[in-house]
Amino acid sequence: MNFTFKRILASFLIGIVLAGITSEVAYRLLKRENREPSQIQLVIPAGTAKLVSEGGAPPEIPNDLNLVVGDVLMVVNRDEVDHQLGPLWIPAGASASMDLGAEESYMLDCSFQPGKYQGIEVKQPVTWSTRLTGILFSGFPLGALFAIYSGLIPSKKKKESKA
């Protein structure tokens, strides 16, 4: 195999590996959802209305939800009192659902949170194919730069052939 070809191949491999490491570090720091859209169930437990009227918060219900585009939020009311979440009216013992079809940040009126609102963050899902595409789109140009700059470094074979 030609030495120059080996050098170029090694440069591209180094570029892809560095892009992969950088991409994974960024992914871990951003903590994006890495899953396909699904049905997410939010259960309002019995006694929630009483707990909220006393200033407490039901520990089972998070203050903010991080969901992905395409999720369906199903709110199940197991309380004895009717509740509301934004446009959803959930009678006691019933359920209601909300399709999350766009990337958006919601701050919805909510009767089962002490602060009277529920935050919902809807983002595009980050799948393995998305992550791999990002690595390749950044790795190949980085590898090309390494290949170009590696041509500036004289090789041992060239030095030996001159002697």
pLDDT digits (tens, 9 = 90+) for 57-108: 888 888 889 999 999 999 999 999 999 999 999 999 999 999 999 999 999 9
CA 79 and chain centroid, separation? 32
Q: What is the mean pLDDT of the chain?
A: 87
CA distance 112 to 79: 10
Any idea which architecture 39-123 has in CATH? Sandwich (2.60)
Specify the domain boundaries for CATH 2.60.40.420 within the chain.
Answer: 39-123
Q: Look at 28 and 84; give whichever has higher pLDDT.
A: 84
Q: Look at 19 and 127; give whichever has higher pLDDT.
A: 19
